[in-house]
């Protein structure tokens, strides 16, 4: 019998503890400790499995407890994290403002800095991360600043911060360590350093075996390396465990990349159905995937612009501006695309994909010199920027 | 477009807080009564029995550091001033940061529960051996000594009314659900006290819920916390609470919250001649413990044991760069003196400094004064005399200090007074050994075992010492008398005192003895409870 993976072991531990909390854990009279443990476990399980429906279930319980508990600041913090995952950014702020101590806590301030980043206030985001790190040099605060630096092009700083974050983690936090290794691998991959990316992804797998997130990243790398059969097999495995639409889109794009358009279409259809069903439920977290899907899969500029504008309403940052620019480009609204991509570029982000699109838009606008310059910048950042990659 | 791949995706949201094998509980140290072949010192480091009693966490590394020294004679005309106190702290700093280096015993346990024990920088050199756990065994050293060792599960030798202590300092998380982010609601801004305060409904004993606050305690069925009521979390009364008979209500119950519980531990009986080349001169064995947890990066770089060590379980390893091993771990906890962390350092992670806690000297003075304003009026209300200058306040006061300069005059006597011992049994040779004082005990945060004593606290720490109650005696005026005898560190364990005091319940603050008899021989701590 195979040894259970780290993922299986952690999931079993959570499930065992959940089972130990009887079905009436939320019934009156409420035991606050047991109820809090219950909700933490639900949140932990959802985070572990990546299943958004479980996150929604956890949220339902959180909302109920918030109404019953006298000091719900930890619940609001959990809620803020869920709202963040679902891109409900105004709700995140409202959650954090429900309690002054939560708002001012290192955890609350880190999340506020994330909000600043998502809402395009980059100087404030950096200041926020740095302030938290001054108070508490925790791994997640260091990783947040590393992510920021990687986006803004200071790769040395990003690598240094990721290294320091990793050094803060202990053998009791191997899943977090695996996640950090994925970030470091992704940083390498987006700069064309496949071997280094592979090395990080392998470390992630050794650190925390059986994690779907590692497999999904590895599938992208395999595809980028041209190991298409392996990549397809791994994507299929991930989708069988966790049929999220973005993974289906990824596999669809891979099939299309290798010329298997019929198979690609099936996964595209399934992904789109899921995206639209989510949007119809009032969810907003797949808007940016819909932009990419309509722009690059369907080449439907008008529909891409529709979703890009909706996403921009929620999050005005360089990435959503660039997505809108690309949607406008697909809709042949080149002048508007040019204006938007220039706004995106003005944020100072250093991203090969951004520069590649900037080059295409500038070329379409007849600005050949600028187009060449952006194409060169993209190639300089990632000599392999034309190879297979997925939308994250 | 990678725009939402945030670290938040794996933020554990407070949920990683579980009982950990890194949580050090106690450090015991005393001279062994077995002097065959020379003097020996017993050192026992105890910690949470995680993953279970007798089973060690293989990600942990434990260190016991040992630094022998001569006993320092006290100057006759010593000045009792903040300046002299700071001079003392400076001297301590020099000593622990200077060239002299502590020897250490380092323990890790592998998946098969075999323990690698390294002896590093002892006078006879460094060596390591691999031993079984949960067995009493002898370790022969390269220079011809024999060290007794036991690494495994035992009964928890601490006996203490932990809930009473938390009630005395108004520590809300013991009694209420307090959100993690609500850091202002831990030690509430209510006077610390040994006697219940009139109207302190947040913490006073509730006859309708007598087990409230006793969490996960054997024999106390009610382990639930309450919802923290709306603030303000302060106290505006002006007197201690009295019942209809005019008796005060003790915040302590004397209940042993550790009864029936186990620990894992490292227990060693070490020849003094192995620790120092000058056993006749180095009469003080300073020791402290540390827990370290393996870093994540090193967990996946695990290198199999070198075959040499498997084939040669006892070998000299002086040539190895052992500090490279420590770089793979992260320091979590330190333990030297009981209550140095919980009582005086407010349990802050950043203050896990062990012997290096001289940096905290100003905090120590301020915290002692803060505690004094709480405990001393309780003591005087009972008709006893206190070492702390509280202006004869009739009731406990919540007062904090921004500077040690401001706090020092109040705490001066508490800091400098000699702590009387209950009798002469601690000093069996009748030597001229100065009585210890609180500042010497807590800074540095080491267990300083005097080899010419029995090693009872504060000359070490024996398992049978009721250290929680002895800690409270710091605030007694040691020049005062009770029943014709000078106050001493066990006075608050004296049942006749409580029988005569206007207080209920009539009990010493903490249990007088452990829930299991200690052994008279190595490993001294009692066998573990089967269900503990």
Q: Which residue in the set B1, B299, B300 is minimally distant from A319, CB to CB? A: B1
How far does A206 lie from chain B, in Å, by closest CA?
6
Cross-chain Cβ contact B1/A288 below 8 Å: yes
How far does A367 lie from chain B, in Å, by closest CA?
24
pLDDT > 70 fraction of chain B, expressed in percent and rounded:
87
Are B514 and B155 in contact by the 8 Å Cβ rule? The answer is yes
Q: Which residue in the set B1, B10, B181 is minimally distant from A391, CB to CB? A: B1
How far does A177 lie from chain B, in Å, by closest CA?
6
How far does A182 lie from chain B, in Å, by closest CA?
11
Cross-chain Cβ contact B3/A317 below 8 Å: yes
Contacts of A31 in chain B (CB under 8 A): 224
Are B454 and B431 in contact by the 8 Å Cβ rule? The answer is no
Are A187 and A155 in contact by the 8 Å Cβ rule? The answer is yes
Cross-chain Cβ contact B16/A173 below 8 Å: yes
Answer whether residue B258 shows pLDDT above 50: yes
pLDDT tens digits, residue range A15-40? Answer: 999 999 877 899 888 888 889 999 99
Read off the DSSP letter of residue B314.
S
Q: Which residue in the set B6, B20, B227 is minimally distant from A69, CB to CB? A: B227
3-state secondary structure of A97: coil
Cross-chain Cβ contact B16/A33 below 8 Å: no
Q: Which of A231, A225, A230, A185 is nearest to A204 (CA)?
A: A185
Chain B: residues touching A (Cβ < 8 Å): 1-16, 20, 59, 177-185, 224-230, 293-300, 330
Q: In this structure, is the dihedral angle defined by the CA atoms of residues B306, B310, B313 and B315, taken in order, positive or negative? A: negative
* Residue A386 pLDDT grade (very low, low, confident, very high; cuts 50, 70, 90): confident
Q: Is A43 on the interface with B (CB under 8 A)?
A: yes
Contacts of A118 in chain B (CB under 8 A): 3-4
How far does B485 lie from chain A, in Å, by closest CA?
49
More confident residue, B128 or B75: B128
Answer whether residue B91 shows pLDDT above 80: no
* Residue B216 pLDDT grade (very low, low, confident, very high; cuts 50, 70, 90): confident
What's chain A's average pLDDT?
95
Answer whether residue B331 shows pLDDT above 70: yes
* Residue B361 pLDDT grade (very low, low, confident, very high; cuts 50, 70, 90): confident
Are A275 and A289 in contact by the 8 Å Cβ rule? The answer is yes
Q: Which residue in chain B has the smallest CA separation from A74? A: B179
Residue B311 has a pLDDT of: 40
What is the rounded average pLDDT of the residues A303-308? 98
* B249: phi then psi, degrees, rounded to nearest 5: -110, 120
What's chain B's average pLDDT?
88
Residues B83, B62: Cα–Cα separation, whole Å? 37
Residue B324 has a pLDDT of: 85
Q: Which residue in the set A33, A40, A151 is minimally distant from B177, CB to CB? A: A33
Answer whether residue B217 shows pLDDT above 50: yes
How far does A317 lie from chain B, in Å, by closest CA?
9
Residues A151, A128: Cα–Cα separation, whole Å? 16
Answer whether residue B15 shows pLDDT above 80: no
pLDDT tens digits, residue range B497-507? Answer: 999 999 999 99
More confident residue, B79 or B28: B28
Q: Is A294 on the interface with B (CB under 8 A)?
A: no
Residue B222 has a pLDDT of: 65
Answer whether residue B387 shows pLDDT above 90: yes
* Residue B18 pLDDT grade (very low, low, confident, very high; cuts 50, 70, 90): low
Cross-chain Cβ contact B8/A87 below 8 Å: no
Q: Which of A93-107, A123-137, B116-130, B332-346 has the lowest mean pLDDT?
A: B332-346
Q: Which residue in chain A has the smallest CA separation from B178? A: A71
pLDDT tens digits, residue range B278-330? Answer: 999 999 999 999 999 999 999 987 534 443 434 443 444 444 445 889 999 99
Are B223 and B216 in contact by the 8 Å Cβ rule? The answer is yes
Are B356 and B67 in contact by the 8 Å Cβ rule? The answer is no
Residue B97 has a pLDDT of: 55
pLDDT > 90 fraction of chain A, expressed in percent and rounded:
93
Residue B163 has a pLDDT of: 94
pLDDT tens digits, residue range A217-275? Answer: 999 999 999 999 999 999 999 999 999 999 999 999 999 999 999 999 999 999 999 99
Q: Which residue in the set B10, B225, B227 is minimally distant from A176, CB to CB? A: B10
Residues B516, B81: Cα–Cα separation, whole Å? 44
Cross-chain Cβ contact B10/A84 below 8 Å: no
Contacts of A102 in chain B (CB under 8 A): 179, 181-182
* A14: phi then psi, degrees, rounded to nearest 5: -65, -45
pTM: 0.91
> Which A residues, 185 through 214, put their C-beta within 8 Å of a C-beta on chain B?
186, 190, 203, 206-207
Residue B95 has a pLDDT of: 65
């Amino acid at each position: 019998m195979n040894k259970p993976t780290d993922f299986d072991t952690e999931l079993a531990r959570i499930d065992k503890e959940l089972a130990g909390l009887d079905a009436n854990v939320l019934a009156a009279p409420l035991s606050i400790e047991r109820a809090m443990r219950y909700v933490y476990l639900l949140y932990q399980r959802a985070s572990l499995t990546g299943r958004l429906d479980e996150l929604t279930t956890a949220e339902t319980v959180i909302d109920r407890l918030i109404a019953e508990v006298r000091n719900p600041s930890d619940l609001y913090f959990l809620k803020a994290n869920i709202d963040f995952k679902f891109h409900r950014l105004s709700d995140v702020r409202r959650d954090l403002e429900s309690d002054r101590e939560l708002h001012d806590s290192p955890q609350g301030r880190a999340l506020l800095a994330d909000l600043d980043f998502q809402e395009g206030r980059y100087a404030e985001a950096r200041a926020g991360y740095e302030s938290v790190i001054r108070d508490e040099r925790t791994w997640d605060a260091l990783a947040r600043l590393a992510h920021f630096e990687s986006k803004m092009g200071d790769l040395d700083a990003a690598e240094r911060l990721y290294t320091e974050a990793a050094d803060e983690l202990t053998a009791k936090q191997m899943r977090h360590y695996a996640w950090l290794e994925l970030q470091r691998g992704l940083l390498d991959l987006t700069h064309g350093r496949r071997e280094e990316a592979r090395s990080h992804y392998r470390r992630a797998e050794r650190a925390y075996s059986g994690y779907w997130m590692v497999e999904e990243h590895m599938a992208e790398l395999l595809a980028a390396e041209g190991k298409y059969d392996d990549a397809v097999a791994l994507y299929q495995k991930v989708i069988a465990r966790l049929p999220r639409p973005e993974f289906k889109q990824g596999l669809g794009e891979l099939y299309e990349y290798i010329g298997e358009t019929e198979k690609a279409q099936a996964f595209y259809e399934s992904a789109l159905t899921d995206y639209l069903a989510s949007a119809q439920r009032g969810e907003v977290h797949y808007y940016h995937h819909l932009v990419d899907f309509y722009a690059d899969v369907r080449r439907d500029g008008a529909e891409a612009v529709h979703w890009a504008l909706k996403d921009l309403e929620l999050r005005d940052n360089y990435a959503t501006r660039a997505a809108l620019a690309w949607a406008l480009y697909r809709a042949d609204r080149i002048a508007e695309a040019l204006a938007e991509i220039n706004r995106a570029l003005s944020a100072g982000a250093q991203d090969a994909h951004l520069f590649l699109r900037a080059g295409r838009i500038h070329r379409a606008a007849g600005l050949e010199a600028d187009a060449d310059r952006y194409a060169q910048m993209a190639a300089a950042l990632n000599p392999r920027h034309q190879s297979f990659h997925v939308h994250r | 477009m990678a725009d939402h791949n945030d670290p938040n995706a794996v933020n554990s949201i407070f949920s990683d807080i579980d009982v950990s094998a890194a949580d050090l509980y106690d450090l015991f140290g005393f001279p062994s009564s077995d002097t065959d072949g020379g003097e020996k010192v017993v050192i026992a480091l105890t910690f949470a029995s995680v993953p279970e009693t007798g089973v060690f966490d293989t990600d942990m590394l434990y260190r016991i550091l040992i630094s022998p020294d001569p006993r320092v004679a006290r100057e006759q005309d010593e000045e009792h001033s903040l300046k002299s106190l700071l001079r003392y702290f400076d001297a301590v700093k020099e000593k622990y940061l200077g060239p002299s280096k502590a020897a250490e015993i380092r323990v890790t346990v592998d998946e098969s529960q075999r323990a690698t024990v390294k002896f590093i920088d002892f006078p006879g050199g460094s060596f390591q051996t691999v031993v079984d756990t949960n067995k009493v065994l002898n370790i022969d050293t390269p220079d011809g000594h024999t060290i007794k060792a036991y690494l495994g599960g035992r009964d928890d030798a601490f006996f203490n009314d932990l809930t009473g202590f938390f009630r005395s300092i108004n520590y809300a998380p013991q009694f209420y659900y307090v959100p993690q982010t609500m850091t202002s609601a831990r030690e509430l801004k209510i006077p610390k006290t040994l006697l219940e305060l009139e109207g302190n409904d947040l913490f006073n004993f509730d006859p309708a819920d007598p087990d409230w606050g006793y969490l996960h305690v054997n024999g106390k069925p009610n382990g639930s916390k309450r919802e923290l009521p709306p603030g303000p979390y302060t106290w505006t009364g002006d007197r201690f609470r009295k019942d209809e008979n005019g008796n005060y209500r003790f915040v302590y119950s004397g209940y042993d919250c550790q009864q029936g519980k186990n620990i894992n531990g490292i227990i060693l009986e070490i020849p003094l001649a192995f620790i120092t080349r000058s056993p006749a001169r180095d009469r003080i064995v300073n020791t402290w413990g540390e827990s370290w947890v393996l870093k994540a990066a090193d967990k996946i770089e695990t290198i199999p044991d070198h075959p040499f060590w498997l084939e040669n379980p006892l070998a000299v390893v002086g040539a190895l760069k052992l500090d490279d091993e420590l770089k793979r771990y992260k320091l979590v906890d330190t333990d030297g003196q009981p209550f140095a962390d919980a009582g005086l350092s407010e349990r802050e992670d950043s203050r896990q400094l062990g012997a290096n806690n001289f940096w905290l000297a100003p905090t120590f003075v301020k915290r002692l004064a803060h505690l004094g304003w709480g405990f001393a009026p309780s003591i005087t209300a009972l008709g006893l005399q206190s070492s702390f200058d509280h202006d004869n306040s009739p009731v406990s006061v919540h007062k904090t200090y921004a500077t040690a300069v401001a706090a020092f005059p109040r705490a001066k006597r508490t800091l400098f007074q000699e702590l009387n011992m209950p009798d002469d049994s601690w000093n069996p040779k009748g030597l001229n050994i100065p009585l210890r004082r609180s500042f010497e005990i807590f800074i540095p945060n080491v267990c300083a075992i005097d080899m010419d004593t029995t090693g009872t606290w504060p000359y070490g720490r024996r398992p049978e010492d009721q250290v929680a109650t002895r800690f409270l005696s710091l605030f007694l005026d040691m020049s005062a008398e009770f029943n014709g005898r000078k106050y001493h560190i066990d006075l608050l364990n004296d049942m006749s005192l409580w029988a005569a005091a206007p207080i209920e319940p009539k009990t010493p603050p903490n249990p007088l003895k452990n829930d299991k008899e200690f052994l008279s021989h190595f490993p001294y701590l009692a066998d573990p409870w089967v269900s503990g």
